[in-house]
Chains A and B, each alone.
Chain A
Amino acid sequence: EADIYQTPRYLVIGTGKKITLECSQTMGHDKMYWYQQDPGMELHLIHYSYGVNSTEKGDLSSESTVSRIRTEHFPLTLESARPSHTSQYLCASSAGTGRNSPLHFGNGTRLTVT
């Protein structure tokens, strides 16, 4: 079944560790996005990609990096995790941009950095 998958669902990690949040989609979508969401707050776009080898920074400054080597895979990496990175990270994809291309979201990864 076509879907978008995020792993892990929950991650608790110590300060200074390198982590990678995985996001994969089997919907054949070109566009992929990473949003950061703190409880009760809006979703902030931190990275997006319009296709293979295309990555852009979003509205919210983030110390994370992303890569897009394959259409279906859009991992997010934090080289050195800090408590300020504690948040929920949502991955999304869309077939295109705009009115005819709503976002399809994964279940999210809730990251806690101790």
Chain B
Amino acid sequence: AQRVTQPEKLLSVFKGAPVELKCNYSYSGSPELFWYVQYSRQRLQLLLRHISRESIKGFTADLNKGETSFHLKKPFAQEEDSAMYYCALYSGGYQKVTFGTGTKLQVIP
């Protein structure tokens, strides 16, 4: 069965410091991974997907199949980045999305 692990419940960084939110997955097939974000009082929304290899709001994430990881990174944290971040795995065989437990990012001014 597929599984997504986000080991940190809370990550606190200072403004301007680098950010890395960890995500590991287990899945026997070819993974399709996403990061979703939920800002305060807003709905959960897509941040980025690995297939697009895009940078959104300065965030990037690289799929590392050898380490089964999809860590989210940003070189310089901004206060507006404070939010809950969820890593998600789409498993084609089951056509379902599995979410991790989420990491709360707190950027300290």
Contacts and interface: CB of A to CB of B under 8 A. Distances in A.
Interface string A24-65: 000000000101000011110100100000000011000000
Nearest to A33: B97
A103 interface: yes
A102 B44 contact: no
Nearest to B99: A43
A interface secondary structure, majority: loop
A105 interface: yes
A38 B9 CA distance: 14
Nearest to B52: A99
Nearest to A35: B99
B18 interface: no
By size class, the interface of chain B is 20 to 34
Given A42-B99, A43-B86, A98 B44 contact: no
A13 B99 CA distance: 28
B32 A40 contact: no
A33 B94 CA distance: 14
Most buried by A among B9, B44, B88, B95: B44
Most buried by A among B32, B45, B97: B97
Interface of B: 4, 9, 32, 34, 36, 43-46, 49, 51, 86, 88, 90, 92, 95-102
22 contacts: A33-B97, A41-B101, A42-B4, A42-B86, A42-B100, A43-B86, A45-B96, A45-B97, A45-B98, A48-B96, A90-B44, A97-B92, A98-B90, A99-B49, A99-B51, A102-B49, A103-B36, A103-B46, A105-B44, A105-B45, A106-B43, A107-B43
